Structure 1
Amino acid sequence: MSGAAVANEFAKMRRLRVWLIAVLMTLAVLGLSLFTVVSSPDFDPGSPGAWNALLAGMSLGIPLICPLLLAVIASRLTEVEHTGNGWLSQATAGITPGVMCRAKLVALGLVVTVTTLGTGLLVILSGKLLVGILAPPPLGRWTVFTLCMLAVNLVVLALHLLVSAKVENQLVALGIGVLGCVLAVFSQGLPTAAAHVTPWGYYALATAADYGGGGYIAVDVCYPSIIALAVVIGIAFALVTDRFDRQEA
């Protein structure tokens, strides 16, 4: 994969308004996180556990918003290849379908990384400046939570790129995105073992806080499982896109 292939994907993204979708993703998750605080009658900004409410809001907001919007950006960046015969035209220039898929993952992965990390930072700033939480933020737990959510987002993005590249009808990819949102939210009420069944269930494993005992409490993030998922999907993505390289565009 060359830098030119990645730069080409960034050029396509400017016309497809991918960054606008990323901003909408950030604002939606931020809004849901703040809604968790304002809708809780027991919330106390002076409580030592006040940050758990925002963490719980993000733990719900990201699974509710991200799977569908990740499907949208993956579909938009891949649909242009189907409609404009981009697979063939790029192959004649030496950029095979597998290389294009890997370049799309790198380019969109950078967007998703900036969006996810930026959302985590904005929620912290909002907790201090807008909500007025007095206790210092739990930066260690917040960092682990954000990185785990980022890992799951990148996994879901990789899967949607493969689906969008393989299936020309992008309604299929968007339908899977809607189903992913349902599975991600539904998995939060399932046992830990059941959450491992689908990639979207790993959003529940990255949850850092939840409601219990009359208030929001901290929850351990299952980061070993999320690391294992990222490794497995990373290898699978490399193998599948390598097969794309041996096929005709």
Structure 2
Amino acid sequence: MSTPTPTTSTAPAPKITIITGGNRGLGRDTALRLAEAGTDLIITYRSHGEEAAAVVGELTALGRTAHALRLDTADVSGFAAFADDVRGLLKEHWDRDDFDFLVNNAGSAVVAPFTEITEAGFDQMVNVHLKGVFFLTQTLVPLLADGGRIINLSTGLARFTIPGMSAYASMKGGVEVLTRYLAKELGARGITANVVAPGPIATDFDGGSVRDNPGTRNALGSQTALGRVGEPEDIGGVIATLLDARTGWINGQRVEASGGTLL
């Protein structure tokens, strides 16, 4: 009588996510939520490398492999070198040539009435929020695995309006259109693309105006059905859910996470 050969099970390899602007705010919380779900990460930062190092420490404490790379998402000329750095990390630490998820999160704000927006301020918003997202995604798509996913960050301000945000919101409207095109043109590779559009969130965005100014916080919170402004953890979980294996049929969609602002 022969003895059955014992079988061994091999755990699936972890997914790998790149998050731009992962050193603080929504990017940091998204990284933590994904790490809790078993995802490895590459986060980027433009400045404040010490913050990025601290986030990497938090991620590794959760048992994940994580690394930080510097990237200015407004400077297209640096994207090819960044992609080379990503290739090096993928090969050295994961023995892979590709990654699974891209979250285009990095951003900044120029807040001024429409009549006072300067050309320099407008160009800054174009470079960070539209041109940067467009060409960074284009640069990284050859490294994105078939069946991968792209999440682009937009804003509730692409649906409702608050004076002073015209330049910023206009760029996010462009990102929402771009996302539908990504979903269509990359669909043959099984890659999905979706938008997450937060409402007012208490982060350091715009100098921390929502987080630190009680008047602003209360005024914006009163406009939501839930009666408060959002916190970073209200958004990180939404992004992590859209990258979960069970939500792969969602594609080309705008998901607003605003607590029901200005319904």
- Which TM-score bucket, shorter chain as reference? under 0.3
Higher relative strand content: 2
Q: TM-score under structure 2 normalisation? A: 0.26
Q: TM-score under structure 1 normalisation? A: 0.27
Query: Using CA pairs below 8 Å that are at least 6 residues apart, which structure has the higher relative contact order?
Result: 1
